[in-house]
Amino acid sequence: MGRRCLILALTALLLTGCAGSPGQSAATLAPAESDRVVIYTSHKEEVYGPIVKEFEARTGIWAEVVTGGTNELLARIAGEADAPVCDVIFGGGVESLTAYERYFQPYACAEADLIRPGLRPADDLWTPFSSLPVVLIYNTKLVSPGELTGWESLLSGRWSGSIALADPAVSGSSYTAAATMLCALPGDDWDQLDRLAVQLEGRVLPDSGDVVAAVAGGSCRVGVTLEETALKRQAQGADIAIVYPEEGTSAVPDGSALIAGAPHPDNARAFLDFAQSRDVQELVVSQFSRRSVRTDVSDGDALPPADELALIDYPVRWAAELKDAFSARWPELLREEALS
Amino acid sequence: MKNASFRQKLLTSFLAIGILPLLICTLLMLNIFRLSLTRSAADAAETQLDAMSGELSGLLSDCETVMEKLCAEPAVAAALDRSELDEQRVYSVLYRAAAPVLGGASLSVYGADGRQLYSTSSQPASGSLSPRWGLLAAAADGGVVYRGASSKSSACIQAACAVRRGSVPLGYVVADVTAAQLTALFDGQYTATSRLLLLDPFWDQVYASSDLPAKTLAARLRSQLLAGQALSDSHGAYDYFVRQEPRSGFCLVLQQPKPMTEGTAELMYLVAGLSLLLCLGLCVLASMRFSRQLFEPIRALNSAMREVEEGNLNVQLDNRRIDEMGQLSGRFNRMAQRLRQNLKDSLRQQRELNEAQIRMMQAQLNPHFLYNTLDTIKWMGKIHQAPEIATISADLADILRSSISADELVPLRQELRLVERYVEIQNIRFSGAFALTVEVDEPLRDVPVPKLMLQPLVENAILHGFRDRSGGEIRISAYRAEEDLILTVRDNGCGVPEEVLAQYRDGAPRPGGHFGLHNVDAILRIRYGPDRGVRFVPVQGEGACIRITLPVFRKGEEPPC
């Protein structure tokens, strides 16, 4: 037996032992475990890229970035709950984050006092990153200014079959928009949703990115989207205009959260601090067409000030809890409309 | 293995001897070959990396020198705080200072607000940099800092240091190294088949040689570094070598095709495999041949032995070989021959013994009738006053009783009495005076001897020794010599003819006139061995002396029959 083992070992040595490993010197360049942070992000590369890069340069911490859709990443975090891999989830609407808040641990950022009122959660389970008002848009060639004023005018029947809305059952931002509409309009929620489905004539767009394209391209006259998306396309020269609904709108932040049991908690906190730091928040305003969550960072000059937006107090928890019932009911409403 | 046949063992041994060394040798050679190729490729790559790292260090070091010089230049500070508004003067200072590095980098002066004010670059001004972000923010903390340039800039590497008055930054001196300048810097420093990547300290791509495809490779390498895996690409066709430039912390990654491609390796393994197969075939052939050569005679021997076992002693092996197997067959043949001879001998002996027994049984024919008749004759002799008849009848009856008894061995005493009876009869027959003298010690008279052994000897003396005489003396003596009983029968007759003596001297007498003598001799030889038998002892004077030697057995001991 011993001899057989020896022969096996010898063979293994012959087959593998002599092979040089060309990557050896690279291993010495790999950062120590204490210099790493794992970030799951649903932001686009143009958003997380500069922030992560600057974070690395300033702190010397290597960031491992995993990208994906918000719900996909949150499901992954839930799956890894026993042995967390991720330190920070960066990005994602706070309703989505709220639905998974049992996988987070509270952290109040170093400058949490400077967060605008209403954006900081009481339990600090997530930290806001940017404020994203829901807006209505219209095609400036097809619609005159003043024709579209708010949610009620959207459901007035004037835009039947010509409203661009991403499927709220799929798109997080579109769900926020729908929930905002429900909050802003009086009356029974399901009736309002039924009205919306009627006006949509059962048609929704598969992705939130398609809304602006549909309106700018003229296939829909009006649309519901986030201010950030609209501003970006507007800057690129699309023929769209933004309407802040007169009944009021929400400015639900997207946020970040520290994962419970994170392998690199200190580095994760450093990143959360950094994401809320003044430098990054200024970048959010100047580069990403978003609104900052900090009181000491003013929004872009071209944007109407936040206090003129008639912001409603968006009930995040209510919206998060409604989501299941909504996901069950909404496709039925759509189907009925599509059939009729 | 224990149960494997000889042939299988031979095959296994041949395989072990033939294949194992070759296999080990082949694997070693292949690995050594691969190792040496890999090592020389690695050495070449390391050398190239050393050279390129040196070039980069040199360039960055020159840039640092120039930038520090510019930071200390009063004209630059004056230009930044707007006290010096003569652009040409500022440019002349800038160009003069930057002269040593202008081929490899362009130098610019940025205001404290991040706007570019002066630049040696011929390209249009790249606008502004944020003083609160990235390069300038880092430079504000002091010293020369290096960054990979943002995608908006045409540069690849940017270095910056702050121009200060007191602790307040007045502006920044920035050095830009573009992709074209890096290409020129590294041109010819690495082999044409290699590719070069320049990564920032956090392994984001800063520069890639023009023939490298998309940025995905850098991302892949980075994730491999973080996962602690060896660097490789999706096809595994390249080796990667890394060198960190100490000044900036940037990493040069050289992508070099593997010295042994998959195809070459496969070909080599194929050749090795084929030669192993060839060797395997040869081993099988050779072992079959050898085993047949060895096994064939063994099989023949085996079957011949089985025939012998079954009783056929006429087997002969074909024996043309002269090697060990030939010797073995020869020995077998001789052994079979010897067995055959022995069998023949023992058959002959058996036949002789049977014949003697038949004769004896014929002689025993109806002895009781003879005995009773003799008894009648004895009584008739007594009745008719013929004592000699009575004596002869009584003696003959005694002799007859002895001779028909079933015992083969009788005490010497009985034999002696029988001889006495016989001599008595002969004395009456021949009216002679044959004197019988017995010189046997009392203890020896109990020694068992073959029945009717002495009588023929005495008869021989009377019939032949005293043929022409009417009297004579016969002397029987016995003595013991160690385990042997030696009996001699001596007469003073006319002696034994020379031809009879010669027969008994040779040890194999033929039955002739001395029939009784011959029988005794035969019985002794059969019973006690060929060297026992009747011997004639030379005598002084006339007469003959016959000696027989018997082993002494006490009563109850079995003779070795």
Does A190 contact chain B (CB < 8 Å)?
A: no
Task: Give me the domains of chain A, ranges plus CATH numbers.
Answer: 32-131+253-303 (3.40.190.10), 132-250+314-339 (3.40.190.10)
Closest residue in A to B38 (Cα–Cα) = A20
Q: What is the mean pLDDT of chain B?
A: 84
Q: Residues, chain B, total?
A: 561
Q: B238 or A22, which is more confident?
A: B238
Q: Is residue B179 part of a domain?
A: no
CB-CB neighbors (< 8 A) of B133 in chain A: 50, 54, 279, 283
What's the predicted TM-score (pTM) here?
A: 0.65
pLDDT band at A212 (very low <50, low <70, confident <90, very high): very high
User: Is-contact A100 A259, C-beta < 8 A?
Assistant: no
Split at pLDDT 50, 70, 90, the class of A277 is: very high
pLDDT confidence bin for B524, thresholds 50/70/90: confident
Whether B464 is covered by a domain: the verdict is yes
Residues sharing a CB contact under 8 Å with residue B55, sequence separation 6 or more, in sequence order: B185, B186, B189
Portion 118-147 of A in contact with B at CB < 8 A: none
Comparing C-alpha atoms, which of B39, B46, B471, B30 is closest to residue B275?
Answer: B30
Q: Is this complex's ipTM strictly greater than 0.85?
A: no
Please tell me which of the candidates B28, B133, B226 has its beta carbon nearest to residue A283: B133
In this complex, do B28 and A14 lie within 8 Å of one another by their Cβ atoms? yes
B350 pLDDT above the threshold of 90:
yes
8 Å CB contact of A22 and B239: yes
Torsion over CA: A221, A227, A232, A236 (sign): positive
> A279 touching B, CB under 8 A?
yes
Please give the structure tokens belonging to residue B143. 């010293």
**Which among B35, B147, B226 is the nearest to A18, CB-wise?**
B35
Residue positions counted in chain A: 340
Model confidence pLDDT, tens digit, residues A293-304: 998 888 877 788
* Average pLDDT, rounded, for chain A: 87
Tell me the two tokens of residue A107.
């952290």
- Is B385 a domain residue? no
User: Considering the domain boundaries, does residue B340 fall inside one?
Assistant: no
For A10-63, how does the pLDDT look when each residue is reduced to its tens digit (9 = 90+)?
A: 565 555 544 444 444 677 888 888 999 999 999 888 899 999 999 999 999 999
For range B243-255, the mean pLDDT? 89
Is residue B465 one of the residues assigned to a domain?
yes
Domain around B484: 422-551
Report the C-alpha gap between A258 and A40 in whole angstroms.
11
pLDDT band at residue A265 using 50, 70 and 90 as cut-offs: very high
In this prediction, residue B126 has a pLDDT band, given cuts at 50, 70 and 90, of: low
The predicted pLDDT at position A223 comes to 94
| Cβ neighbours of A20 in B, within 8 Å | 35, 38-39, 42
pLDDT tens per residue, range B364-415? 667 778 888 888 999 999 999 988 888 888 888 888 888 777 778 888 898 8
pLDDT in tens, A127-181: 999 988 999 999 999 999 988 999 999 999 889 989 999 998 888 889 899 999 9
Find how far residue A240's CA is from the centre of its chain: 23
Q: pLDDT at residue B509 above 70?
A: no
* Inter-chain CB proximity B240 and A23 less than 8 Å: yes
Q: Could you tell me which chain A residue has the CA closest to the CA of B32?
A: A18
For residue A56, the chain B residues in CB contact (below 8 A) are: 202
Contacting residues of A for B226, CB less than 8 Å apart: 30-31, 36, 62, 64
Rounded mean pLDDT of A185-208?
Answer: 89
What are B420-444's pLDDT values in tens digits?
999 888 888 887 788 889 998 888 8
B368 located within any domain: no
Residue B445 is part of a domain; what is its CATH number? 3.30.565.10
Lowest mean pLDDT across A89-93, B69-73, B84-88, B334-338: B84-88
Residues of B in contact with A31 (CB under 8 A): 226
Domain count, chain B: 1
> Is A9 near chain B, with CB under 8 Å?
no
Q: Is A279 in contact with B242 (Cβ distance < 8 A)? A: no
Q: How far is the C-alpha of B208 from the C-alpha of B76, rounded, in Å?
A: 34
Residues of A with CB below 8 A from B243's CB? 25
Residue of B nearest to A36 (CA): B226
What is the C-alpha separation between B483 and B533, in angstroms, rounded? Answer: 16
Evaluate whether A208 touches A277 at the Cβ level (below 8 Å).
Answer: no
Contact state of A27 with B228 under an 8 Å Cβ cutoff: yes
> Is residue B316 one of the residues assigned to a domain?
no
Question: Which residue does chain B place closest to A65, by CA atoms?
Answer: B223
Least CA distance to B35: which residue of chain A? A19
Percentage of chain A exceeding pLDDT 70: 93
Reported confidence tier of residue B561, pLDDT bands at 50, 70, 90: very low
| Mean pLDDT score, B499-518 | 70
> 52-71 in A: which are within 8 Å (CB) of B?
53-54, 56-58, 62-64
Cβ atoms A172, A232 nearer than 8 A: no
Q: In the predicted model, is pLDDT for residue A119 greater than 90?
A: no
Q: Give a yes or no: residue B431 inside a domain.
A: yes
Nearest to B433 by CA among B479, B469, B467: B469
- Judge contact between B429 and B393, C-beta under 8 A: no
Query: What ranges make up the beta strands (E) of B400-528?
Result: 409-411, 433-440, 448-450, 471-481, 484-491
Average pLDDT, stretch A105-113? 89
State the pLDDT at residue B364: 62
User: What is d(CA A311, CA A246) in angstroms, rounded to the nearest whole number?
Assistant: 10
Residues of B with CB under 8 A from a CB of A: 24, 27-28, 31-32, 34-35, 38-39, 42, 132-134, 137-138, 147, 150, 202, 204, 223-226, 228-232, 239-244, 251
Q: What percent of chain B has pLDDT over 90?
A: 8
What integer pLDDT is reported at residue B117 of this predicted model? 85
Residue in B38, B147, B229 closest to A20 by CB: B38
Q: Which of A20, A27, A29 sits opposite B244 (nearest CB)?
A: A29
Q: Average pLDDT for residues B88-109, to the nearest whole number? A: 87
Average pLDDT of the segment spanning A234-255 = 90
